[in-house]
Amino acid sequence: MSTSIKALPAGLKDVEKGSSLWTDAYVRLKKNKLAMLGGIIVISILITCFVIAPILSWIGFDGNEQNLANKFAGPSARNLLGTDQLGRDLLMRVLQGGQISLLVAIMATMLTVTIGVIYGGIAGYVGGRIGNAMMRIVDGLLAMPFLIIVILFREVISGQVDEIARFLIDDWGWSDNDVLRFANLIPLTFAIAGFGWLSMGRIVRSSAASLAQQEFVEAARSLGLSHRRILFRHILPNMLGPIIIYATLTIPSFILYEATLSYIGLGIEPPNSSWGKLIQEGANYLETNITVLAVPAVLFSLTLFAFNFLGDGLRDALDPKASKD
């Protein structure tokens, strides 16, 4: 591994330590202004949606409170970005929609990474005929039309989720409003992940397959370590780079999937809302009041930009060789 002189702060005693892949990567990332800007925007959006918005709603701002006398109002102290077609506060609606969009995307990404790493890791490490057969299944599913597979998964899963939700409400006495709102997100999350893990599996398989050929894995094998140990302690840590890069780039594409599905009415259902749903509602009032479309659309596009720039920057930083496209 190359050591970067720039990675070292002044003071020679640090030289002995050398610099790890991660310090190297961090230095490279810090030089990439677009990626850093993306990172800052990502963090700000996350904080706004998940910290500031709950505080605002706790002190009395509500995105679901209708006020038909006050629809399409301009910005005011009470409604910083004005109100929508039902007199609801636009800012709170966009932030609460963002919570759902981001929550679904992040949960689906975590699922994708888990399934993709296990499946792809096994396929790559085992290799041979079994590994090939595992990848042919992935190729076959990738050839399915995206909408059909996602809707299929969603329908199949939502039946199960409804039963669990009803059980939680009836037998455990959980608040039915909260449970139902959350239950609405689960089928969509699983459906998106059910399609998304396929590409993750492919990427993990190819890097696991090349790692499995390396000397250190051979050494581990000749030491008699178990397959599971080799896979999780030796191969997995070496794949962290591509996994992190791909996960960062997966989040925006999942935000987009969720928005697309919600836009065409197959995603989030009321009282939940998401950016896709807000954009779809806003498009109906394009001529009356463009802010209802513009606010969620701008925030949505900005989020996609930020995540993509951050992901591209991470790829350049962690894997300089692969950064050509």
Partner 1 sequence: MLRIIFSRLLQTLVVVFLLVTFTFFAIRMMPGNPFADVKALTEENKAAMERLYGLDKPLHIQYANYWKNVLLEGDFGDSFSMKGRKVSTLISESFPISLKLGLLSLFLAMSLGIPLGIIAALFHNKWQDYTAMIIAMAGICIVTFVLGPIFQLSFAKPLSWLNVAGWSRPSDVILPAITLCFGVAAYLARLTRGGMLDILSQDYIRSAKAKGVSQLNIITKHALRPALVPAVTFLGPAFAAIITGSFVVESIFLIPGMGQYFVLGIQNQDYTLVLGLVLFYGILMGIANLMSDLALIFMDPKLRNS
Q: How far apart are the first and last CA of the chain?
A: 23
Q: How far is the CB of 157 from partner 1 (least distance, A)?
A: 10
Q: How far is the CB of 219 from partner 1 (least distance, A)?
A: 33
Pick the closer one to partner 1 by CB: 121 or 311.
311
Pick the closer one to partner 1 by CB: 123 or 212.
123
Cα–Cα dist 198/194, whole Å: 8
Cα–Cα dist 310/307, whole Å: 5
Pick the closer one to partner 1 by CB: 3 or 323.
323
Cα–Cα dist 202/66, whole Å: 47
Phi-psi map region of 307: left, alpha, beta (phi>0 left; psi -120 to 50 alpha): alpha
Pick the closer one to partner 1 by CB: 119 or 153.
153
Helix (H, G, I), strand (E, B) or coil at 121: helix
Report yes or no: 63 and 93 within 8 Å, Cβ to Cβ.
yes
Helix (H, G, I), strand (E, B) or coil at 194: helix
Pick the closer one to partner 1 by CB: 30 or 221.
30
Residue 83: strand pairing partners: 89
Rule CB under 8 A: which residues touch partner 1? 34, 139-141, 143-148, 151-152, 155-156, 158-159, 252, 256, 259-260, 263-264, 266, 276, 279-280, 283, 286-287, 290, 293, 297, 300-301, 304-305, 308-309, 324-325
Pick the closer one to partner 1 by CB: 66 or 319.
319
Q: Hey, what are 273's tokens? A: 């809302």
Long-range contacts at 17-23 (CB < 8 A, ≥ 24 apart): 21/241, 21/318
Q: How far is the CB of 225 from partner 1 (least distance, A)?
A: 36
Residue 8: strand pairing partners: none
Pick the closer one to partner 1 by CB: 175 or 301.
301
Pick the closer one to partner 1 by CB: 225 or 266.
266
Q: How far is the CB of 293 from partner 1 (least distance, A)?
A: 6
Report yes or no: 296 and 226 within 8 Å, Cβ to Cβ.
no
Place of tokens 């692969």: 322
Q: Hey, what are 5's tokens? A: 């002189």
Q: How far is the CB of 308 from partner 1 (least distance, A)?
A: 6
Nearest Cα to Cα of residue 35 among 309, 319, 320: 309
Count the helices and strands in the chain (H runs, E runs).
12, 0
Residue 89: strand pairing partners: 83
Q: How far is the CB of 36 from partner 1 (least distance, A)?
A: 15
Q: How far is the CB of 140 from partner 1 (least distance, A)?
A: 5
Q: Hey, what are 231's tokens? A: 């896979």
Q: How far is the CB of 302 from partner 1 (least distance, A)?
A: 8
